[in-house]
Chains A and B, each alone.
Chain A
């Protein structure tokens, strides 16, 4: 653990200017990920700016029926229990409640959850000499190591880590927009562009700039989000990261023809994986298990497994099928 200074920001502008004022500065949200990583010596900030008390914890309706805005400091449990979220975006509520434990959800913030880092063992413990994400150029310890929890889609030889968040998977399916504030003002980043694939720079998780603060997450209006389901497959019944998860929402006409569909996968890639190929295959087809399976096959066609995680390919396909049969109301 490195020595560091700690201060509390009074407002967003102060937080942003403190961030640019000194190198190696980090925001502290709920601290459930950052403090762990600091104790492990993975993160070694020289300065912590506690943003936990910034007045950005509301969940509010946007004007003109444009959707809902969630403050970046809203706690995961408050968002999950919020009536507006439960009514209009039950998918997000389910995803949040599937994550971590009540104690952690009470601390964890929306901004922190978006920014949480991979649970790759080699990244998490500096005793391992190889990790391109922690120490660029050192190699990837997981590639030939123990890689049961690692990626099957969109990975590179430089990094096969996954994004561990449940919330992010739901946000991907809901096409959330991340609002951020930097020294030059505010901007919006669609969730699809927020997290990155590892490529040759796995040390960079997101497209948030070093001097930017996440202020809110907007959920655009999406009437069929009420017909949605978050499916999480994990090793134990509760309190475990997803091996594979699926966020799905569907709209069908009276004849069961699919008129709109959103699918995102968790636990399979360096970012929440929007299953566009599967969605395209499904559009206009009649909801049916075989059709779902074909769509899942299409999405996973490019998947690649490693020594311990190849099972995820079949598991992901099955999970897509199950999530879709559930939202389509086809399960007994």
Chain B
């Protein structure tokens, strides 16, 4: 299979057998001798000061090794860096170190740690810790926090406040068709099957090994080394498998620091498994958003103004912001005037973090609902309206998009779905007594590029091992990287072993921003070039080689397992022969980690279109999604099966976002009331129809040598809008606050 086709082979997962037999070891499943257990005590007030902590009863429980509070917690070394994204310094969304003072900043904050020989002892002892507080009036809602507004200028170096053209004048122009609406999304919680967890094991007082469920082994290594005052190479992070993450394992959360410090104090390895209950507080969530969209268009549907004002929350000790407008309206449609405003309010609620398509996901929900409302105001077909405003150039950077095939995505999606048979009349389509609604929306996600390095060991038996400190979150990255390695190195798929999830390996960035396939793929590509060069160097000095005395620059891979003269492929030599004649068992190369090259002449962004059908019982109006067609344009699709699964996963999560998922809070204490999987409703199989996924476009080689823009997140963008639009089409009722539960349609 050549690396230039749009879609790569449909390989089954290389780690599939390990997973289904239970042999794949997740972080807290590692067995470390003499391992003790950590259990936390959490605050049940949202703001105030701890006035006393009674720990004697806990300490008296047999097996208890340490009880840590802010009164006896050793100090961490360095104030955490303000660092987002994929930089090597790691990510901390919560800036305050755990147990570092007597302050309470949100309900559920860890206020003590118990370490005991068994998990039951730790848990029981933790229940005996008594904390007294001097509570203060907390800020819990957007309304209450308004006066604390912060208008950030940038998010990860990208401007989030945008002013292009004159929005105000267009929005006042009486000759234009306008809509203005406010859309609300609730707090959502990631809820991967594998909860976060860490085992901290000090090999001596300068050497720490952590088995940590993380999306970023190098980041954890860096943060732990800095905050514990250790040499980088003395901190090892191990994480071969992750059972889902969706962003909640990208930053270093408090339990990781607590495990490391608890282990140091107790003098034994410590395992901390974040409970499902605490996953709703201690590992981030998607902040709630309030977004007001104002659109103005000519009567034939040409947008003249888009204004996207978004308000979100963060915690008093956090710095994460969800940039809704810049990441949706900022890239989506052609318009002479665009204004994006973003405001963040700090409230006494736990720290939010990135959750699958942070910004893009709630942003496209609001924008794509507003576009539907505009289409109705214009009496225009929703697809036609989007085509009329298609952006060939990036609407705010004014450079052309590379390999953009969104028009084809609309077209193929509409065809597969049968969109032309849609009766635009509200409540007009029926299936027996059920109301039927058809809706669509655009999906988009940027192509992110970070830096990585890879090491390749090629052996004379034609097998290869490739290593990078990257991650497989359950997405199929092992398989995709094995496939990229096979193609780039010229080694059969079955003979490649790809290793990841260890900080000892060459640098891999955070598995976030849908960057891994492209970034690590590029590193593998660079290592492959080095490998072919190293082999060429052996061959040109070897009189028995057909390549003897050839110029190195003329040599490259010409077939699987062979390098040769690129312009004259009759002259070539096999890897195995070159190594054998040189008397080598193996050869090793490692690519260099360098900042990604920036191409300022083009913009790189992935696109897609979702079409969906819902059916609703008008008497008992629970929305059932009955059909989804998703067409994606993400550059090259490296691995057909795992890519399809990613889109299906994104759509599934989007169904949850649209219809069922919400983390609600108690207005009095600020504690979440939804804290388990019985109450937090992720979609079940019965909620998810067959999802028809296809890909259009071409490899985007202007973006990277793999041609892949990544596609882990795009599936969730737009889908909630497509569903909300279908619900409106079915019922004539526009629900502008998610999730669309039955009570909102009665």
List the interface of chain A (C-beta within 8 A of B). Answer: 1-3, 41, 119, 121-122, 125, 127-130, 141, 144-146, 148, 233-241, 243, 311, 314-315, 318-319, 321-322, 331-332
Contact = CB atoms under 8 A, between A and B. Distances in A.
B669 interface: yes
A144 B686 CA distance: 34
B424 interface: no
Interface of B: 42, 44, 107-108, 120, 123-124, 127, 277, 432-433, 619-620, 622, 624, 659-660, 664-669, 671, 673-675, 678-679, 681, 683-687, 741-743, 746
Given A3-B124, A145-B666, A235-B660, 13 more contacts: A122-B673, A144-B668, A146-B665, A234-B622, A235-B681, A236-B660, A236-B681, A239-B684, A240-B678, A243-B742, A243-B743, A318-B620, A322-B619
A164 B596 CA distance: 55
Contacts of B686: 236-239
Contacts of B681: 235-236, 240
A41 B127 contact: yes
A311 B619 contact: no
B620 A233 contact: yes
A233 B127 contact: no
Contact of A236 (B277, B659, B673): B659
A311 B741 CA distance: 11
Contacts of B620: 233, 315, 318-319, 322
B184 to A, nearest CB: 15
Contacts of B671: 125, 127-128
B684 A128 contact: no
7 contacts: A127-B108, A127-B669, A141-B668, A236-B686, A240-B678, A332-B432, A332-B433
Nearest to A40: B277
Majority secondary structure, B binding face: loop
Contacts of B433: 331-332
B668 A235 contact: no
Contacts of A321: 619
A332 to B, nearest CB: 6
A315 B127 contact: no
Of all A-B residue pairs in the complex, the 10 with the closest CB atoms, nearest first, are: A237-B686, A311-B743, A121-B673, A238-B686, A127-B44, A238-B684, A237-B687, A146-B673, A1-B123, A236-B681
Given A1-B124, A315-B620, A128 B746 contact: no
Nearest to B617: A322
Nearest to A322: B619
Nearest to A331: B433
Contacts of B746: 311, 314-315, 318
Contact of B673 (A1, A145, A233): A145
Contacts of B619: 318, 321-322
A125 B673 CA distance: 8
A236 B684 contact: yes
A235 B667 contact: no
A144 B123 CA distance: 31
B675 A125 contact: yes
Contact of B669 (A128, A241, A243): A128
A322 B618 CA distance: 11
B742 A315 contact: yes
Contacts of A121: 666, 673-675, 679
Contact of B683 (A141, A236, A314, A322): A236
A24 to B, nearest CB: 15
B432 A129 contact: no
Contacts of A145: 666-668, 673
A128 B44 contact: yes
A205 to B, nearest CB: 19
A250 to B, nearest CB: 18
A101 to B, nearest CB: 9
Nearest to B688: A237
A256 B200 CA distance: 72
Contacts of B683: 236
Contacts of A146: 664-667, 673
B127 A1 contact: yes
A129 B670 CA distance: 12
A238 B622 CA distance: 12
A311 B742 CA distance: 9
Contacts of A241: 678
Contacts of B44: 127-129
A284 B685 CA distance: 43
B124 A236 contact: no
Contacts of B622: 233-235, 237
Contacts of B664: 146, 148
Contacts of B127: 1-2, 41
B664 to A, nearest CB: 5
A130 B675 CA distance: 17
A238 B277 CA distance: 22
A272 B152 CA distance: 53
Nearest to B665: A146
B517 to A, nearest CB: 32
B653 to A, nearest CB: 14
A128 B673 CA distance: 9
B684 A119 contact: no
Contacts of A332: 432-433
A311 B621 CA distance: 12
B279 to A, nearest CB: 14
Please indicate which of the listed interface residues A239, A321, A331 has the most CB atoms of chain B within 10 Å of its own CB.
A239
Contact of A141 (B42, B666, B685): B666
B669 A129 contact: yes
A331 B107 CA distance: 49
Contacts of A239: 684, 686
A304 to B, nearest CB: 16
B229 to A, nearest CB: 35
Contacts of A314: 746
B291 to A, nearest CB: 23
A163 B144 CA distance: 35
A2 B124 CA distance: 6
A237 B617 CA distance: 13
Interface centre among A3, A121, A234, A241 (most CB of B within 10 A): A121
Contacts of A1: 120, 123-124, 127
A267 to B, nearest CB: 12
A314 B621 CA distance: 12
Contacts of B277: 125
A213 B620 CA distance: 39
Contacts of A318: 619-620, 746
Of the listed residues A122, A237, A332, the one surrounded by the most CB atoms of chain B closer than 10 A to its CB is A237
B150 to A, nearest CB: 28
A144 B620 CA distance: 27
Given A127-B42, A332-B432, A238 B667 contact: no
B669 A237 contact: no
Contacts of A127: 42, 44, 107-108, 669, 671
Most buried by B among A145, A148, A234: A145
